[in-house]
Structure 1
C-alpha cells in the first residue's frame, strides 16, 4: 500500500510560493528512485500519519507539512504551514506531536525551525516569504498584521508588519493587489499609493 504526498495545489489548496519540482512524490518503504515525473521515497509512514481522501491514501496534513519542511527550503514550507494554521486546519502543537512520532529524523532541526517561524496571523505566502527573509538576515521584532492608530486620520490602519520599538511599518505588495477591489489596475495602484502615504504619517503602533 502506497502513501502519497498531498499535492499542495490539490485537495487542501496549500499555497506554493514558487515552483520547486514537476515531480509527484510517492512513498514506498524500502524504495528510493527518481523517474521523469515521479519521485519515490522509501520512508516508513506510520498508519496514524496517513489519510484517505477520495479513495486515495495520502500522508495526513501534518505529515505532509513536515515532509515538505524536511525536503524543501523555508520559503516553500513556511507559507504552507502559515496557511494551514491561518485556516485552522491544524495547530502548531499537533504538527510537533506528529513530528515527534516520525520514524525519519532527517533534517529535524530544519523542520522545527519552519514550524517555529510559522505564524497563523500572516495572510499570504508573500508575507511568509518576507518573514523567512527577515530571519535569514537576523531581523527580529516584526509583528504580522498589526492594527495601528493613525491620529491624523482618526482611524485605524492594519499593516502587514510593524516593529513597535523602531516605529517601523512594512507592507508587502504584489501585482495581485492591482486586480482587487475595482479590478482596474490604475485605480488600485493610486489607492495603494494613497494608503502607503498615510502609513508614512506618524502614528501609534
Structure 2
C-alpha cells in the first residue's frame, strides 16, 4: 500500500501533472500545489449557495400586509385589488383568491415589504397626496405600474418633512426665564390682614 505524502511536499518532490477534464489543458506542479493549498486552507470559508427564500405567508396575510403597511381603508384596498369590499373581507377571513388575483396580491405585498423596510415616517399621510407628478401612491397602486419606482421619491419627501417637523419644534422659540413663566401663569396671592 502506498502512503500519501503531505501536501507541502507534493510539488517539491515529484512533478505532478493533472489533466483537467474537458479543457484540453494540464496543471503545472506549481498550480497543482496552489489548488491543493486552497482546498485545504482553513482560513477560506465558502458559504454554501442559499436557496431562494420562499414566502410562506397565506393570501390573507399578504392582503393584511398591504393594508397595514400602506395604512389604507378597506374601500381603497378593494379598489387597488380590483374587487369588492366583501371579497376583500372574505380573503382576510381565509377564502382563497382565484387566478391572477393571487399574483397581484403577492406582488403588492412584496412592494409593501420594501416600503416597510424603508422605514418611511408617516407613510399613511403620503399615500393619498398627489406627490408623484400629480398622482398619489394610491393611484399608482391601482394600476399595473411598479410602486417601487416611487419608493425613493416618497422616502425623500417623508425624510424632508420629518426633518422640518423636528426643526420647527425647537426653532425660533424664545426661552423665557422662570420668573416670566410664573408671572404669566400664576395667580396673585394676597395676604390676609
- TM-score when normalising by structure 2: 0.25
Greater Rg over alpha carbons, structure: 2
TM-score computed with the length of structure 1 as normaliser: 0.24
Larger helix share, 1 or 2: 2
